[in-house]
Amino acid sequence: MGSALVSDQLYVRESVRHSVKILIVGHFAVGKTTIVGALSEIRPLRTEEHMTQAGESVDDPSGAPGKVTTTVAMDFGRLTLSDDLVLYLFGAPGQDRFKAMWHDLARGALGALVLADTRRIEDSFDVMTLLEERGLPYAVAINRFDGAPVFPEEELREALDLLPTTPLVSCDARDPVSSTRALIALVEYLVETKKRESA
């Protein structure tokens, strides 16, 4: 599904002088491909393949009934923020067997948006550990799946073991406006982090 933000402009404007790389990460079937599609102003690059019986032993689809495809390399999208600044979005695959790809995608990233699912909150721990090992700042966005339990923010913070400064928001990865709010929370956090580091 294409984004509501998709424009006719395939190429970056000539006035763009700066670019920022952001990772979109999370466990298997949490909505990374969906949110990149919702945010991207161009048709996103997707590397999805149909799931097969051969993959059942490594990809557990029980937490995502009806899922028939999976990302095998990355998702890529673009969002122009101003006349001279463009944001590149890289969605990383969520399975352990793609960790090597994940590390490659993380190179040069300014920060990451972690998508989480309240039905499988513990599946987010490995992803956040990888980010912390790389020293990559991140915000967490709870993707609101239909029928998923809703918890107070303080309970989610405790369950995810988040620092008080780490942004925690909720979003619907299918909705461009909601997804943009989650991205804004990350960008504001990255700006504040840079200010603190340079002070």
CATH label of the domain that carries residue 112: 3.40.50.300
* 3 within some domain: no
pLDDT at 97 over 90: no
Whether 11 is covered by a domain: the verdict is no
Phi (first) and psi of residue 72, to 5 degrees: -110, -5
- Per-residue pLDDT at 15: 78
In a domain, 113, yes or no: yes
Within a domain: 103: yes
Greater confidence (114 vs 196) lies with 114
Q: Give the residue-averaged pLDDT of 44-52.
A: 62
In a domain, 5, yes or no: no
Q: What ranges in the chain are assigned the alpha helix state H?
A: 32-39, 99-106, 125-134, 153-160, 176-198
For residue 37, tell me if it sits in a domain.
yes
9 within some domain: no
Q: With 60 as the cut, is the pLDDT of residue 11 above it?
A: yes
- pTM of the predicted structure, to 2 decimals: 0.81
Give the integer Cα–Cα distance in Å for 194 and 199.
Answer: 9
Q: List the domain range (segments joined by +) for residue 181.
A: 18-198
Using CA atoms, how far apart are residues 91 and 75, in angstroms rounded to an integer?
A: 5
Mean pLDDT of 45-53: 59
Cβ contact 121:32 at 8 Å: no
User: What's the domain count of the chain?
Assistant: 1
Q: What is the pLDDT of residues 154-197, one digit of tens each?
A: 999 999 999 999 999 999 999 999 999 999 999 999 999 988 88
pLDDT at 134: 92
**Residue 12 resides in a domain:** no
Strands in 111-116's sheet, in edge-to-edge order, are 45-50, 69-82, 85-91, 18-26, 111-116, 138-143, 168-171
pLDDT, mean over the chain:
84
